């Protein structure tokens, strides 16, 4: 019973953060029985299995990819419009709001990852490939958190309003032009690094799919077997 599991965890001699993660896993455990049918694919478990990522992980992964594409598209396209134009300002606003949306989703994705089962890759990749994949994933999670926060800090230092889908978020720091210039440079450098990391991640997935012919990419696709 879930209630009994929670009582055991509460009384166990574990550190607080381990108990919290365990409790989250127990709360999410019943979701493993829920199955989804996505775009004509076979019904999938919402949670991960040993063979394939679940609907929750797959949904968050591809949603965040679309959001990354939109974030980059907005900031690149805004350069085609004159300064002071409404469309340029709108694209910058959407760039910021979508970036903050990634920041909101990143902890959820991390919780799902930590509390879930990592589907095995068949055939098993080499040790250096596993370590490289872990490093890239850590860097991507850092990007998901650091870049939106940098954008929030940038608007704060510039003294600009901080919109978020009808809400106005508080400034994280006071207005400071020098600091704004520094943060802007860091933010732009981070954006360039993001292009590299996302491209490397995608290239690795395609390499495994078309050349190694393992199930690395298929694990993150709806089940059509």
Is the pLDDT confidence value at 15 over 60? no
Q: Is 165 inside a domain boundary?
A: yes
Distance CA 75, CA 169 (A): 20
Q: Is 33 inside a domain boundary?
A: no
Give the other-Cβ count within 10 Å of 202's Cβ.
12
Q: Is 101 inside a domain boundary?
A: yes
Name the residue with higher pLDDT: 41 or 73: 73
* Count of residues in the chain: 225
pLDDT, tens digit, for every residue of 30-59? 444 444 444 445 567 888 888 889 999 999
**Pairing assessment for the beta strands 163-164 and 167-168 based on DSSP bridges:** antiparallel
Distance CA 225, CA 217 (A): 14
Count structural domains, the chain. 1
The CATH number linked to 125 is 1.20.950
Q: Is 14 inside a domain boundary?
A: no
Q: Is 158 inside a domain boundary?
A: yes
């Amino acid at each position: 019973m879930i209630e009994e599991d929670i009582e055991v965890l509460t009384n166990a001699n574990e550190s607080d953060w381990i108990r919290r993660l365990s409790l989250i896993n127990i709360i999410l455990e019943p979701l493993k029985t829920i199955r989804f049918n996505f775009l004509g694919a076979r019904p999938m478990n919402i949670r991960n299995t040993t063979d394939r990522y679940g609907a929750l992980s797959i949904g968050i992964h591809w949603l965040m990819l679309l959001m990354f594409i939109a974030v980059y598209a907005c900031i690149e396209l805004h350069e085609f419009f004159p300064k002071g134009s409404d469309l340029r300002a709108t694209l910058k606003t959407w760039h910021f709001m979508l970036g903050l949306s990634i920041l909101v989703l990143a902890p959820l994705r991390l919780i799902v990852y930590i509390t879930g089962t990592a589907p095995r890759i068949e055939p098993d990749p080499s040790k250096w490939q596993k370590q490289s994949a872990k490093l890239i994933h850590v860097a991507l999670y850092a990007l998901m958190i650091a870049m939106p926060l940098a954008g929030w800090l940038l608007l704060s230092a510039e003294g600009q309003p901080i919109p978020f889908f009808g809400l106005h978020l508080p400034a994280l720091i006071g207005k400071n032009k020098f600091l704004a210039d520094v943060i802007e440079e860091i933010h732009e450098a981070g954006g360039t690094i993001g292009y590299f990391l996302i491209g490397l991640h995608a290239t690795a997935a395609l390499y495994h799919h078309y050349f190694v012919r393992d199930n690395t990419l298929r694990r993150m696709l709806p089940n059509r077997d």
